[in-house]
Structures are given as structure tokens and as C-alpha cells.
Structure 1
């Protein structure tokens, strides 16, 4: 449970970073692109002395991990386009509700349903409702959209669902038994680094970006907690037998709950009555999902 708590806390720190970017005029896109090399450096520092990191292209797992790293960047870029065209509300909801995909995968493919009782299922249903209510905000200033634009949040839903499901699956297949959590994490991040820098170079060459040294510095407080949240989420999945139906909803709604409280206290963000009801339901969902402590 400690690993899950740490993953949640470092994820909240990530969101605080994003919240501070406008105040310090940080280019968030560039900070995210450069955060991946910082993640690599962080992982190398945490690498145990009896382990080493290398890209072994004789192993299928290496290719799967690199593709997953590319998938993370593509999902981020798609989220950016969706936010611009459809607004934060539709994109955020699509992102968070996508947890149903890895949850169903875990229940059906990993046969985790045998560990669930009706209270757990009720908690999962309430978790999805809590996500919708707690992240809902009335959208303002979104341009007129056409019919095809609605495919963007759908794409966000599918991509986040696929990447999170793949993340859970690869951890179960290649990491849990070997104990190579950090090397495998670094392999995934290597795919993100290469693909992200290629995208940045393209945008730079096309004049769509102006290099910002401030964004490079901002990548450090972003990349370190990003790696740690990634690493501890893998450890949490390990601790709970890769039961994504248990870990991912707890992770998701806990991040929303804590980040909402941080936003209210430190950034004076306002929550509507619907948001507050959603947060209350989130607390109940956490209690129901975790009530029997699936793994001691």
C-alpha cells in the first residue's frame, strides 16, 4: 500500500508543476518533452547496484516497452489537440473515464473478478461516477465544433485505456517475476525520449516552437516526480498481483481527490456543488473498493 500512496503523491506533485507553469511562463509542451530525459537520469540514479540498464533488442519485451513509450507521447499530443478543439472538460473526462478499459481487462483477462464481491463492484461504479462529477466544469470559450471533432475525446479515451492496459499487462508479463522494475521503466521511457525529441525537432524546424531554456529547467521538477510516480505505480501493481481493477481506480480517484484539495487550499480554485458531491462519492468509492484488503 505504501507504493500506491507514494505513486499518488508524486502524481499530485506533477499536477502542481503544471499548475505553476503559467505563473513562471514555462512552455508546458517543451517541459514535458524534456522531462523524459530527466526521467531517464532519475531512473539511473535509483538503479540498484546489482542491476543494469541496456536495450536488449533480442527480447520482444524491449520492442513492446519502446512502443508503449511512444504511445505515452502520442496520447499526450492527442490530449493537447482535443483540449484545444473540444475543451478541458470533455478531454479530462475522456482521460479519467478510460480507467474502465484496464479495469475490465484486469477482471476478464487476469481473472481478478474472483477476488471481487458486490461491494467492490459497487465501488468501481461509484468511482466512474465520482470521476465524472468531480472533474466536470462548465466549458467556456470553446469554439464551434463539427461532427468529426467529437472523435478527439473518443481517441483520448481509447489511447489512455490502451496505454494503461498495456502498462499493466507488460508489468505482469515481464516485470513482476524478474524484479527488473527500473530497467523496464527506463526502456519504456527511452521510447518516449526518442519519439518526443523527434516531434520537438520537427516542430522547431517548422517554426512552431521557439526553444526555451526555462522549459528545460522546468523539466527537472517535472521529470523527477514523473519517474517516481511511474516507478511506484509499477511497484503497487506488483504488490497487488497486477490487479489493475483494484489499483488503478484507487490511484485515479485518489489523485483527483487530493489534487482537488490542493487546488482549493493553495491555488484558491473553486469547486461547484457537483464537484464536491463527486469528491464525496470518490471517498466512498475508495472505501468500497479497498474494504476487504485484497492482499494483506
Structure 2
């Protein structure tokens, strides 16, 4: 369970780094770009992926391309969701995005699904509405800002589907696929940054690089410890699933409210409770 604990801490710390960097004047894109060189380097050094090179005909380039575009794009949405909606709501959106691949498995890949899983998904969707949805007092500006949290919910779900499809290619190791995806995402992110630097006249500050490296370390730590948790508890995947998702939701709520003074309405609090309940239903019923 220590691997799950460390993965939860790293995951929430990613949000904290994004929030603190923004307060110190670091633009979201300038921060996120440096996450990918760090992720690619650590994947190569720590996971030591084995592959036959980029010309290997078994490589699923279509999936890689989709992930390379989505990863930096949704990461930017995560940063804006944290800025506008707060850490608590953004973490809920990320964690409950697990319903997207579950629904895809049922509707697109014709997998059987138990009634309890459908019940858990239904509770989770209600949790999303209560956590990041709008109430009658919301104004137009508020609705526009909530878009980022919804983009995180759907985007992270699609990313999860693509990574699961990548994992099905047994001829290519998953670590090697991760390395290629991180390298491609790095190229996409630097293309975004190059546009902002050369066509928008923005300037790159050294502090953006330093904060970005810190972000990359914790983001990769989240991935590494999560993988190790599944390896250590291979016979109890539901424990990893439950511990990770509920852990991030609860720790994110403590950090968001306790450290950053985020305010939650009654509907938001009900949404948090429903989010935890939905994870428990899916894992154990």
C-alpha cells in the first residue's frame, strides 16, 4: 500500500505545483512543456524499455499520434481547471474520468458489464454534475470556466482508452510505447511553445523551466508508483484502484480546502461523497 500512498501524494502534488507556479507568474504552457523531457528521460533510465526502433512495423502509430496530441492539450486543460475550478473539482474530474473507458468497453467493444458497475457509473455521473456542474446561481462566466473541468473529465477518459489499446499490442513493451508517446508529446508541446514564442512574442523565463522540471518529477513519480502498486498487489487490483482514486479525491479535498482555501458549496460536498461511493461500488460490488 505504500506505493499507492506515494502515487496519491505525487498526483496531488502535481496540482499543487501547477497552482504555485501560476501564482509566481509562470504561464501554464511554459510550465507543462518541460514535463515531457523529464518523463521521457526517467522512462528511459528507470524503466529501461526494450524495442526494435521506430521502424518496427508493430508500433501502433495511430494510437501514439492521438496520445501525443491529447496529453499536452488535456494537461493544459487541467492547469486551467485548477486555476478556475480549484484542485478539489479538478481531481474529482480526473478520477471519475474512469467511467469513460468503462462505458466505451460496454458500448464500443461489446464487453459484458454487471448491473453494479452501471449503478456505480450512474452515481459517478451524478457526482460529476454535483462537483463541477452548474447551479441556478451560475453566471455565463462561471459556465465558461467550468468547461475546463469537463474537458479534463472527457479528455482523461479518452486518454485512458488509448493507453489501454496500446497495452493490447503485446509485440511492443508497454514501457517502450510510453517512451515513444512521451517523446512525441514533447515535440507537440514544444511546437505549441514555439508558436507562442515566435508568433505571440512571449518570453521564456528560467523559472518556468525549473518549475516544469519539478512538475515532471512528480508526474512521473505518480506513474511509476502506480505501476509498482499494481505489480506488488497484482492479486488485488481493486485495492489499488480504490486506494488510488479515493485517495486522490480525499487528499485533493484536504489540500484544496485546507491549504488554498477553496470553497465548496453543499452540492460540491455531496458530489465528493458520491464520487467516493461510486468508486467503492465499481470496485467491490
Residue 229 of structure 1 deviates from its aligned partner by 2.5
Secondary structure of 1:190's aligned partner: helix
Query: Which residues of structure 1 form unaligned runs of 5+?
Result: none
Q: Distance in 2 between matches of 1:9 and 1:152?
A: 23
The corresponding residue for 2:222 is 229
Q: Distance in 2 between matches of 1:208 and 1:287?
A: 49
**Backbone CA RMSD of aligned residues:** 4.1
Indicate yes or no: 2:198 matched with 1:205. yes
The corresponding residue for 2:32 is 32
The corresponding residue for 1:45 is 45
Residue 216 of structure 1 deviates from its aligned partner by 0.2
Answer yes or no: is the 8 Å Cα contact 1:185–1:231 preserved in 2.
no
Answer yes or no: is the 8 Å Cα contact 1:127–1:249 preserved in 2.
no
Answer yes or no: is the 8 Å Cα contact 1:131–1:278 preserved in 2.
yes
Worse-matched range after superposition: 66-75 or 133-142: 133-142
The corresponding residue for 1:56 is 54
Q: Distance in 2 between matches of 1:167 and 1:200?
A: 25
Secondary structure of 1:57's aligned partner: coil
Query: Which residues of structure 2 form unaligned runs of 5+?
Result: none
Indicate yes or no: 2:116 matched with 1:123. no
Matched length: 276
Residue 62 of structure 1 deviates from its aligned partner by 4.9
> TM-score with structure 1 length normalisation?
0.73
**Cα gap change, 1:246/1:254 in structure 2, threshold over 3 Å: closer, same or farther?**
same
Indicate yes or no: 2:70 matched with 1:71. yes
Q: Map Cα deviations across residues 154-178 of structure 1 (whole Å, 9 max, x no partner).
A: 876654443221122212x126x86
Among 127, 142, 163, which residue is 2:159 paired with?
163
**Cα gap change, 1:82/1:218 in structure 2, threshold over 3 Å: closer, same or farther?**
closer
Q: Distance in 2 between matches of 1:290 and 1:159?
A: 22
**Cα gap change, 1:144/1:273 in structure 2, threshold over 3 Å: closer, same or farther?**
closer
The corresponding residue for 2:209 is 216
Residue 222 of structure 1 deviates from its aligned partner by 0.4
Indicate yes or no: 2:169 matched with 1:174. yes
